[in-house]
């Protein structure tokens, strides 16, 4: 009788621990950056996003005359912070992981038109790269990352190959050296 109780308690404890570690995504903040009538603006839509139906609800409430938008979803996964950026109003969170070959970014630096080093962007790129090193399956425009027009992002992967980006990045950007 007592053995059955002990086994049941241990089983419940193990199941609770497994569930704790499987529920690894925690949304911290959701920002919607948008352009309306030629002016840029942003809104904190965390509550609407998390509790009232996700991106579709947010877009239905905000859709009047929005011309351009980007969702910034700040979240933690296994106690590490990441940012999921998307321009898709019908995206799913957490993003569905596709089966593909990924090479993680080792170093990211911003350079001017003239080739002068401006700043290190590695930490920021690592946050946007996500836990699967695939940029959440999205194409990320450099302007959404805060780079100015004319600036170049130089990425180096863990194999040592370097790629220069002037418009956008995705997980295929750093496969081979060259410009994208």
Question: pLDDT by residue (tens digit) across 90-107?
Answer: 888 877 766 667 788 999
**CA–CA dist 53, 146 (Å, integer):** 29
**pLDDT tens-place string over residues 152-164:** 999 998 888 889 9
Q: Residue range 6-20: average pLDDT? A: 56
The whole model's pTM is what?
A: 0.77
Contact by Cβ (8 Å): 152, 179: no
Q: pLDDT-based confidence at 125, cuts 50/70/90?
A: very high
Strand, coil or helix: 62: helix
**Where does residue 67 fall: left (phi above 0), alpha (psi -120 to 50 degrees), or beta otherwise?**
alpha
DSSP category for residue 96: P
Q: Which two tokens stand for residue 122?
A: 């590695």
Check whether the bond before 176 is cis (ω within 30° of 0): no
Would you kindly state where each structural domain of the chain is located, as residue ranges?
24-92, 105-179
CA of residue 84 relative to chain centroid, distance: 2
The CB-side HSE value for 124 (13 A sphere, CA atoms) comes to 15
Parallel/antiparallel/unpaired status of strands 39-44 and 25-36: antiparallel
Which residues face 6 on adjacent strands?
Answer: none
Q: Which residue would you say has higher pLDDT here, 124 or 133?
A: 124
Cβ atoms within 10 Å of 61's Cβ, excluding its own: 13
What's the pLDDT at 19? 47
Asked if residue 158 lies in contact with residue 103, where contact means CB atoms within 8 angstroms, the answer is yes
């Amino acid at each position: 009788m007592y053995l059955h109780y002990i086994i049941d308690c241990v089983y419940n404890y193990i199941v609770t621990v497994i569930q704790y570690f499987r529920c690894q995504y925690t949304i911290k903040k959701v920002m919607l950056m948008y352009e309306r009538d030629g002016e840029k603006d942003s809104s904190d839509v965390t509550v609407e996003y998390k509790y009232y139906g996700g991106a579709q609800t947010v877009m239905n409430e905000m859709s009047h005359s929005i011309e351009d938008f980007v969702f910034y979803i700040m979240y933690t996964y296994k106690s590490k912070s990441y940012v999921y950026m998307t321009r898709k109003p019908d995206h799913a969170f957490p993003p569905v992981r596709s089966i593909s070959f990924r090479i993680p970014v080792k170093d990211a630096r911003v350079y001017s038109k003239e080739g002068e080093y401006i700043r290190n962007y590695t930490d920021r790129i690592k946050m946007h790269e996500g836990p699967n090193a695939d940029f959440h399956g999205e194409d990320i425009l450099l302007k959404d990352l805060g780079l100015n027009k004319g600036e170049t992002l130089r990425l180096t992967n863990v194999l040592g190959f370097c790629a220069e980006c002037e418009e956008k990045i995705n997980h295929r950007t750093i496969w081979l050296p060259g410009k994208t």
